[in-house]
Amino acid sequence: MKKIIYNQLLTDITKFFLLSSLSLSLIIWVIQAVNFLDYISEDGHGLLTYFYITILNFPKIFSRILPFCVFVSIFYTLNRYEAKNELVIFWNIGINKLKFVNIVVVFSLVFLFIQIFLNTLIVPKTLDTAREYIRNSKVDFFPNLIKEKKFIDVVKNLTIFVESKSENGDLKNIYLKDQVKEGQSQIIYAESGKIVSENGSNFLILNNGSFIDINNNNLTRFAFKKTEINLAKYSSKTTTTPKFQELSTIALISCLYKINYNIILYKIPDYFLCENKAENDIDEELFKRLIKPFFIPSIVLIACFLILSNKDSFRYSKFQNFLFFIGFFIIVISEISARYIGNSKVEIFILVPLIIFLITYIFFMFRLKVNT
């Protein structure tokens, strides 16, 4: 009988966790997807590119909200059991409260390892894949990107201004500024033009205009009847330098060993500058991946404090709110600890999840003894 109750408890927690985590992840994903639409007009990439990127960001979203959803799932499940008087039945048939809580806390280790798995393997890989996709994707100039009487900065070092644009894409009075390199730029003016696609590449056809080359204050000007500019040569404005969260965990650890001991455990990507100034950022990222998940048992234990009271108690509602606040506060502490450890050399912060759990568990046993 007791085994059936425990199995049902864990099943109910898992069901609500899946419902809450997937629902909340989907909501956040949709919001981010809408925000990514700005890149289409600002950065020149196509809709398919940024839809693919938002999909690859889903594991990161799921991992970030996982601790909160675990806490809410256990909090909701125990509240529902209390509302239906099921907890009272459990205690009357001989279920031990401490064993009940221990089973829930041990079960929370499943979510702990899921988050570590996501943080160390899945999330860095998907974010790196998204970055690589942006890096290798071609900028797509849609005709509707260029608006009348508006400066468009769609790609790096290139500015386009068009006085008028017809429905079929014909452009009038076109102004372009191409920053070739520092101290050298090119200004192009044309009476008319049009963007055309040929063999998978986009070309800007210009008619009746002139080039002005500016090289260290030296001007050179010449006119043209017709010319074309291959837009494929321009790179995206999107930052293509990888962030720490996109690097593999073993690469980050290897970089730390190289900085501190001059030992290379694993080949570090060529595009990543493993320097002393990166040590704090690496410490923070590794804390988020490997240590933050260990806050999960603590917040689960906070939710289990609900069994120390009952709905008939005068202060039960306030007690619920207080526990929810404490659980949320511990989640905030996990974020603050991650940022603080990156700016300090106090390794004791690695023990923060264990310290919080031990203090909470000891206090729980004390309250349980007092109540009985």
Q: Which of 233, 263, 288 is the last residue of a domain?
A: 233
**Residue 163, φ and ψ in degrees, nearest 5:** -75, -40
Task: Of 32-41, 114-123, 156-165, 342-351, give the range with the top mean pLDDT.
Answer: 114-123
The pLDDT assigned to 156 comes to 66
Are 217 and 335 members of one domain? no
Q: Are residues 59 and 170 in the same domain?
A: no
- What pTM value is reported for the model? 0.75
Assess whether 96 and 34 both reside in one domain. yes
Whether the Cβ atoms of residue 254 and residue 265 lie closer than 8 Å to each other: yes
- Is residue 139 predicted with pLDDT exceeding 90? no
One domain for residues 307 and 328 = yes
> Largest Cα–Cα distance of the chain, in whole Å?
95
Q: Give pLDDT tens digits for 219-268.
A: 788 888 888 887 766 655 555 556 778 888 888 888 877 777 777 777 76
> What are the pLDDT digits (tens) for 12-34?
999 999 999 999 999 998 887 77
Mean pLDDT value across residues 331-335: 88
Q: Are residues 111 and 249 in the same domain?
A: yes
Cβ atoms < 10 Å from Cβ of 159: 15
Task: Label residue 137 by pLDDT band (50, 70, 90).
Answer: low
Has residue 65 got a pLDDT over 70? yes
How many Å is the Cα radius of gyration of the chain? 29
Give 120's strand partners: none
Give the torsion sign (CA, 357, 360, 366, 367): negative
User: Tokens standing for 368?
Assistant: 């349980």
Going by C-alpha positions, the residue among 263, 267, 268, 335 that lies closest to residue 299 is 335
pLDDT in the model for residue 244: 78
Whether the per-residue pLDDT at 323 is higher than 90: the answer is yes
Mean residue pLDDT of the chain comes to: 82
* 10/132 same-domain check: yes
* Whether the Cβ atoms of residue 158 and residue 234 lie closer than 8 Å to each other: yes
Question: If pLDDT is split at 50, 70 and 90, which confidence band does 43 have?
Answer: low
Sheet holding 171-181, edge to edge: 152-155, 158-165, 171-181, 184-198, 201-215, 218-230
Last residue of a domain, one of 233, 259, 278: 233
Q: Name the residue range of residue 218's domain.
A: 143-233
Residue 77 is encoded by which pair of tokens?
A: 């499940």
For the residues of 298-334, what is the DSSP string, one character each? HHHHHHHGGGGS-TTSTTHHHHHHHHHHHHHHHHHHH
Together in a domain, 117 and 246: yes
What is the tally of structural domains in the chain? 2
Same domain, 217 and 270: no
pLDDT at 348 over 80: no
Do 125 and 177 share a domain, yes or no? no
Confidence band for 54, pLDDT divided at 50, 70 and 90: confident
Alpha-carbon torsion angle 53, 55, 57, 62, nearest 10: 170
Looking at the structure, do residues 218 and 190 belong to the same domain, yes or no? yes
In angstroms, how far is CA 23 from the centroid of its own chain? 17
**Whether residues 50 and 111 fall in one domain:** yes
Q: Do 286 and 362 belong to one domain?
A: yes
Q: Domain boundary at 194, 211, 233, which?
A: 233
Q: Comparing C-alpha atoms, which of 247, 242, 282 is closest to residue 125?
A: 247
